[in-house]
Structure 1
Amino acid sequence: MLNGSIPMQLTRLTFLAVLNLWQNKLIGPIPQGLQFNTFQNNSYIGNKGLCGFPLSKKCMIVEPPPSEEDNDLKFTSGFGWRAVMMGYGCGFVYGIAIGYLVSKSRKLQWLVSLVKGE
């Protein structure tokens, strides 16, 4: 009464001539490679959860939900030098505009007193 998936490490066993996994509770894709490519459908009879070659049941590819690391990678991969330069450029223009407006209002006494420490 085996259950779970068939370990990929079994594909390394080149001396296997026959594989009988009948009437178990195995699930997931059947490993591919070396000896596993030579086994017939009848090696897997009674395992309703198995899929892939040599069975006619195709495996559905299910992607795991994105992890926080994936989200961080997506953020940093789209955050290149162009985005940084755009931010610096916008900040520079905004700073110049605010500086110009403050100097035009001629109310710089608070700035002078702040610099002098009064």
Structure 2
Amino acid sequence: MLESLDLSSNRLEGEIPQQITNIYSLSRLNLSCNQLSGHIPQGYQFNTFENDSYVGNLGLCGNPLSRECEHDTVMQKEGEEEDDFFFGGFTWQAVVIGYGCRVVPAFIIGYLMLQAGKPRWFSGIIARELGLKIRRMEVRMR
């Protein structure tokens, strides 16, 4: 049932243990003026502590401090590079060009096939769908 923890000015070194985030009742934390380093743990009450809880620890990084951890920055840049590589040229214009290069010629070829009446079974299906008589179409084709 620990509500307040003040470990300021104790010459503590190293990283803040992740297990301390499991103290759900902790409402105030002061780790200032120590020699702590590494990433500030995230979770539960730790997300509510302000910058002044960590003042004087030059090795600390991460939220809520404005100093980002190098590991996070490297991971973030790697993720951005992968996204840029995949989505860089994949826009709606690319999709339209891709479909246009295939669909427009297909419609033209289909229209020419219907005009020529080849193949007959295909012309017959289209003629029935349009409500035309097959014989009329055969007479026109000759």
Task: Output the TM-score relative to the length of structure 1.
Answer: 0.52
Helix, strand or coil at the partner of 2:70 = coil
Matching of residue 33 in structure 1 with residue 52 in structure 2? no
How far does the alpha carbon of each residue in 1:76-96 deviate from its partner, in whole angstroms, 9 at most, with x for none?
xxxxxxxxxxxxxxxxxxxxx
Helix, strand or coil at the partner of 1:32 = coil
Over aligned residue pairs, what C-alpha RMSD do you find?
1.4
Task: Output the TM-score relative to the length of structure 2.
Answer: 0.43
Report how far residue 43 of structure 1 moved.
Answer: 0.3
Helix, strand or coil at the partner of 2:38 = strand
- State the one-letter code of the partner of 2:57: N
Task: Report which structure shows greater RCO (CA 8 Å, sep ≥6).
Answer: 1
Matching of residue 5 in structure 1 with residue 5 in structure 2? no
Greater Rg, structure 1 or structure 2?
2
- Flag structure 2 segments of 5+ consecutive residues without an equivalent: 1-10, 75-142
Report how far residue 30 of structure 1 moved.
Answer: 0.1
Instruction: Report runs of 4+ in structure 1 exceeding 2 Å deviation.
Output: none
- State the one-letter code of the partner of 2:49: F
Instruction: Please give the alpha-carbon distance, in whole angstroms, between the structure 1 residues aligned to 2:43 and 2:22.
Output: 8
- Flag structure 1 segments of 5+ consecutive residues without an equivalent: 64-118
* Corresponding residue for residue 66 of structure 1: none
* Corresponding residue for residue 48 of structure 1: 58
* Corresponding residue for residue 34 of structure 2: 24
- Bigger helix fraction: 2
Instruction: Please give the alpha-carbon distance, in whole angstroms, between the structure 2 residues aligned to 1:42 and 1:17.
Output: 14
